[in-house]
Amino acid sequence: MLTLDTLDITSEQAYAERGYPYEEFDLLRREAPVFWYQRPGFEPFWVLTRHEDVAWVSRNPQIFSSAQRVTVDTPDAVDMFERQLEERAAMFGHSPDDPPALSWMDPPRHRQFRQIMTPCFTPKAMAALENRFDELAAGYVRQFMERLDGFGEADVAKHLSARLPVAAICEMVGAPHADWDDVFNWTEGTVGSADPDYQLEGEDAEAAFVRNISALNQYVATLVQERMAASDGTGTDVLSRLVAARINGEALKFHEILYTVFNLLVAGNGTTRNATAGGIQALLEHPEELAKLRANPALVDSAVEEILRWTSIAIHFARTCTQDTEIRGQVIRKGETVVMWYPAANRDGDAFPDPYRFDITRTANPHFSFGGYGEHICLGANLARLQLRAILRAVLPVLGDLELVGTPEVVAQHLQVAEIKKLIVRRKG
């Protein structure tokens, strides 16, 4: 019998075999919405599963800091990450305590960094890209259908959903088109290093991680150096803005620009790609909702929001409490870790009526698919929505003719992102 003492929400194998542990999340929301989680292989932490609590923590970065850690992981994975931080610090000449990404920054530095890049990601900026992304999406869907008809089957995860996110983030950053395939391979190999599919013969997870992250580091370092040397201050892509920016009158350091671009490439690829694949899967598994969307394509906006809630690709983020505080009567001590579980919050019945129903007409949809609200809401949220809309519009005319083949293959590396590795489809009949 499932109890608070026996539940397990940190087993990657369980996520791969049966998906998100919604039964456990339901139990936690019902009986212990602020739960002290102690399991072998992990340092203890507080689990938050209710929508209201996740929102509150997200909006209070002065109490819940990102500077110490943003995820929970096994000691081996933490050690590997910290060794890589030390190696990168030695390579680029800075302190290993410097934030390795925007997500590790606290105010005011975090806000100052975001403001540099925000003009590239506003709704107005996205509207200017809509026709371009519609063209790209239409081309990718056409190539996908050609492959499907040629081989009888095709993998949505590999041959369709992966294409537009790489193109989009590389274009936003200013990476040359000729490099996009390499960027995709390196980012995949970095995030999925524990997956044997990304390891060369004789490699373990750490060796695969080091090989891919080193190649991506070197590529981005060269790209940044070239842009810094050639910049005239007029460029409008993300990298050009970072190079030209000043915070309190000082230019950004080389490693700050490098790490920012590096993490945009990694994050901008994985999350949107998996949300796209997961959305197509959800529509194929709910033909009544697909029929609604095909009959009324104007529902694409609300369909995108429901796909984001339903798939909940980002699994968790962690914060460190900076002062003794209280949530629902539980005292959180200074220095303790608080972890927000987004799939749990996105199935909270207090925030979402009938939360286990996939409903593309859902109107109130305050989901946490972009890391909650407040300072750390995902910088690329508007970009992700734009890509999802473009792919849905392009694939909708043929989606009703397709069906799933077998069981989709999913992994949850480091409990950060639900990675849909395989999603095979074919024509019906």
The per-residue pLDDT for range 269-322, each reduced to its tens digit, is 788 999 999 999 999 999 999 999 999 999 999 999 999 999 999 999 999 999
Q: Which helix (H) or strand (E) holds 251?
A: strand 250-251
CATH of 12-427, one of 1.20.1250.20, 1.10.357.20, 1.10.287.70, 1.10.630.10: 1.10.630.10
Give the pairing of strands 330-332 and 250-251: unpaired
Give the pTM. Answer: 0.93
CA atoms of 84 and 87, how far apart (whole Å):
5
Q: How much is the pLDDT for 231?
A: 83
Residue 404, φ and ψ in degrees, nearest 5: -75, 145
Token pair listed for 70: 């943003």
List, in order, residues 6 or more apart from 136 with CB less than 8 Å away.
163, 164, 167, 168, 390
Segment holding 320, helix H or strand E: strand 316-321
- Report yes or no: 186 and 215 within 8 Å, Cβ to Cβ: yes
- At position 193, the amino acid (one-letter code) is S
259 contacts: CB under 8 Å, gap ≥ 6? 99, 100, 101
How much is the pLDDT for 426? 98
Determine the pLDDT at residue 193. Answer: 77
Is residue 315 a contact partner of residue 417, using CB atoms and an 8 Å limit? yes
Q: How far apart are CA 385 and CA 378, in angstroms?
A: 12
Q: Which of 36, 68, 27 is nearest to 331 (CA)?
A: 36
User: Which pLDDT value is given to residue 225?
Assistant: 93
Low-confidence residues of the chain, pLDDT below 70? none
CB 154 within 8 A of CB 147: yes
Per-residue pLDDT at 153: 98
Tokens of residue 324, six digits: 């003794």
Q: Which residues pair with 161 in a beta bridge?
A: none
Among 154, 204, 215, smallest CA distance to 402 is for 154
